[in-house]
Structure 1
Amino acid sequence: MVSERRRREVIDALRRGTVPSVGLDLLAVGLDRFTPALDAELAVTTQGGSVFKAVRGEYGSGKTFFARWLAERAKQNGMAVAEVQISETETPLHKLETVYRRLCEGLTTAEFPSSALRSIVDAWMFTLEEDVLATGVSETDTEALDLAVDTLLEKRLAEVSRSAPTFAAALRGYRAAVVAGNLAVAEGVLAWLGGQPHVSASVKRVAGVRGDLDHFGALGFLQGLLTVLRDSGHPGLLLVLDEIETLQRVRSDIRDKALNALRQLVDEIDSGRFPGLYVLITGTPAFFDGHQGLQRLPPLASRLAADFTTEPRFDNPRAVQIRLPGFTRDGLLELGGRVRDLYGAGASERVAEVVDDGYVALLADGIAGSFGGKVGVAPRVFLKKLVGDVLDRVDQFADFDPRIHYQLTVGAGDLNEIERNAVSVDDIELELS
């Protein structure tokens, strides 16, 4: 049984033409074959292992949906999740300090859907205090309690301190500011912990740190964050690096630096430096196979190589690189039926009667036709039209019949950049009859 809130959130997102932030399992058509392997990898991660996975697919094949679907499964396992969009200007991959900052800005858990860093750090501090109190230290003896908590903090972060000693120092500074009631300093120290630049010198002086996080310190801070996550009840972190194919459009020297940073991250994961980390990257086949992408760095290309010479149905889901073949017509019809049924669970009985499987197929074929038969590019527009133009009207107007009163029109304004590139003309009007 799907809750009304969850149902509404999914429907509202589809009406806007966006990927829902929850309930993706309700829409996950064709992903069943990946589930056992991915669940096993998530289990490895939560038990202290680490995983690196690459997902390839053409534009519109559902890579972002796949990543967010996996994120939901990760959260069900208690993991934290962060999705980072790689871009030349906002988040260049060769600057790992920027990637770490975006990670912290977008950190989420099942309990905290956005900006979870502070909640996680506070939960960790509370856990430290509870562990100290369990040893017999009196809660009223604040001096002894503070000393014991600081000692335990150092012990928990001993390994991290060898590579990022300022991470532990900043955590101590944050706790001291919270205990003293100095919230402005606490906020500043937390921002510095999250990799934010331009934190005032006075705040850093109180915390006993200096400068800003750099490329080389970012991996140490990531290691520290994983420790904090684990001790605060989150056994792992899923980090999604999305749209990594944008590296093909940057200057060659920047591209080479970015690929080398990715190789460094893969090597560190393989070495076991990041227990509890699952990194997922998404990209197009051109990025993985082309000379402007992964093939520029042969050591990295060989690590992520996978065999795609067989039919897609024989692909190995356990491989380091997997592919999304995109939607087929049958998949699009199944998705449309699921959305219709989900909508109908909280709407009038007319929805199931008027928008039957025959009409869903009619609408799907019309949308696919506007993309020259490229079904894989059609799902977002199809669902937006289905919900906003058809189901909403059938639900609200007792005499509305989409076969009579609705003419499907797909204009340039309905499409995003990827979809516009798939359409050969600017405006196509299709009448469904």
Structure 2
Amino acid sequence: MLRAYRSAVDTGDTARAEALVAWLGGQPHVAAAAKRSAGIKGDLDHFGAMGALQGLLVVLRDAGHPGLLVVLDEVETLQRMRGDVRDKALNAMRQLIDEVDAGRFPGLYLLITGTPAFFEGPSGISRLPPLAGRLRVDFDTDPRFDNPRAVQIRLRGFDHDSLVELGQRVRDLYAEGSTQGDRIRTLVDDDYLGLLADAVAGSLGGQVGIAPRVFLKKLVGDVLDRVDQFDDFDPRQHYQLTVSSGELTDVERNLAQPARAGDIDLEL
């Protein structure tokens, strides 16, 4: 499969390369000619996918890579699926976790992210007791003492200090890759990051927990890029934060412009 894909890419056969990628992604109705060129038959099912994952890990290991990180992001979306589809997906997740734990996939790190509703609510992992038992963690204790080695880790929301710390790390990474590193660290110092964090949170109704996306967008695009490109740009003198409604998500927009009781039309 990998040899056939590499051959298709090298020869400029885009259609065959895309067909092989589609097959690897589990897509049905892949052209028979493309599959024949790779020596594969039929569609990729659960068992074939697990075998392909094992093979990929071997290739990565032999190529000198330490392993593979697989992220199953926003798994809470399963809650909106049809019941039978959701149950099948939950069982597949349980099987994958068991096989990773059994050592079938050496070098694989599996990360699953989701909202508390998925891990604790009635439409999430609780629908499959074996999966719930594997992932259940008691979060009734003080968050300060959460066990980072537990199978499930609780992510606390951002506060002002953690938002500033995020800005510090992004600024330092940006400065390391810039010829203006010293100037960036001087003009965008920790005090300025604190001022920017306050301004962004204030534009979102004081909700610091939802501010990181807008904060990083403004920090990089409006501040760091300009300090890097313009020798006479000083963010304290030449930049004033503006956040338009069009650049916010629905949640951010609602918090930035909270509705008043008098703004709601009632049918009387």
What range describes the TM-score normalised by the shorter chain of this pair? Answer: 0.7 to 0.9
State the secondary structure of the residue aligned to 2:123.
coil
Mapped to 2, the partners of 1:247 and 1:350 lie a distance apart of: 47
Identify the residue that residue 333 of structure 1 maps to in structure 2.
164
Q: Of residues 239, 254, 258 in structure 1, which corresponds to 2:85?
A: 254
Q: Of residues 85, 98, 103 in structure 2, which corresponds to 1:267?
A: 98
Residue 292 to residue 358, structure 1, CA distance change in 2 (3 Å): same
Mapped to 1, the partners of 2:161 and 2:191 lie a distance apart of: 13
Amino acid at match of 1:385: K
Identify the residue that residue 389 of structure 1 maps to in structure 2.
222
The 5 Å alignment of 1:92-241 reads: 121=2, 174=4, 187=17, 191=21, 192=23, 195=26, 197-205=28-36, 208-241=39-72
The 5 Å alignment of 1:40-55 reads: none
Q: Of residues 204, 207, 214 in structure 2, which corresponds to 1:371?
A: 204
Which digits, 9 at most, give the CA deviation of each residue in 1:68-113, with x for residues without a partner?
A: xxxxxxxxxxxxxxxxxxxxxxxxxxxxxxxxxxxxxxxxxxxxxx
CA positional deviation for 1:378: 1.2
State the secondary structure of the residue aligned to 1:409.
coil
Mapped to 2, the partners of 1:328 and 1:423 lie a distance apart of: 17
Q: Is the 8 A contact 2:20 2:34 kept in 1?
A: no
CA positional deviation for 1:275: 2.8
Q: Whose RCO is larger (CA < 8 A, sep 6+)?
A: 1
Mapped to 2, the partners of 1:295 and 1:252 lie a distance apart of: 13
TM-score of the pair, normalised by structure 1: 0.50
Q: Which moved more, 1:302-311 or 1:348-357?
A: 348-357
CA positional deviation for 1:289: 0.6
Mapped to 2, the partners of 1:379 and 1:182 lie a distance apart of: 44
Amino acid at match of 1:371: L
Mapped to 2, the partners of 1:267 and 1:341 lie a distance apart of: 40
Mapped to 1, the partners of 2:103 and 2:82 lie a distance apart of: 32
Q: Of residues 216, 232, 240 in structure 2, which corresponds to 1:407?
A: 240
Amino acid at match of 1:407: Q
Q: Is the 8 A contact 1:377 1:422 kept in 2?
A: no
Amino acid at match of 1:240: V
List gaps (5 residues or longer) in structure 2. Answer: 260-268
Amino acid at match of 2:125: L
Q: Which moved more, 1:313-322 or 1:265-274?
A: 265-274
Mapped to 1, the partners of 2:169 and 2:37 lie a distance apart of: 56
Identify the residue that residue 134 of structure 2 maps to in structure 1.
303
State the secondary structure of the residue aligned to 2:163.
helix
Residue 320 to residue 349, structure 1, CA distance change in 2 (3 Å): closer
Mapped to 1, the partners of 2:52 and 2:112 lie a distance apart of: 20
List gaps (5 residues or longer) in structure 1. Answer: 1-117, 123-173, 427-433
How many residue pairs get matched? 253
* In the alignment, structure 1 residue 362 sits paired with structure 2 residue 195: yes
State the secondary structure of the residue aligned to 1:239.
strand
Residue 408 to residue 196, structure 1, CA distance change in 2 (3 Å): same
TM-score of the pair, normalised by structure 2: 0.76
State the secondary structure of the residue aligned to 1:310.
coil
Taking only the aligned residue pairs, the percentage that are identical comes to 67
Residue 397 to residue 297, structure 1, CA distance change in 2 (3 Å): same
Identify the residue that residue 71 of structure 1 maps to in structure 2.
none
CA positional deviation for 1:219: 2.1
- Aligned-pair RMSD on alpha carbons? 3.5
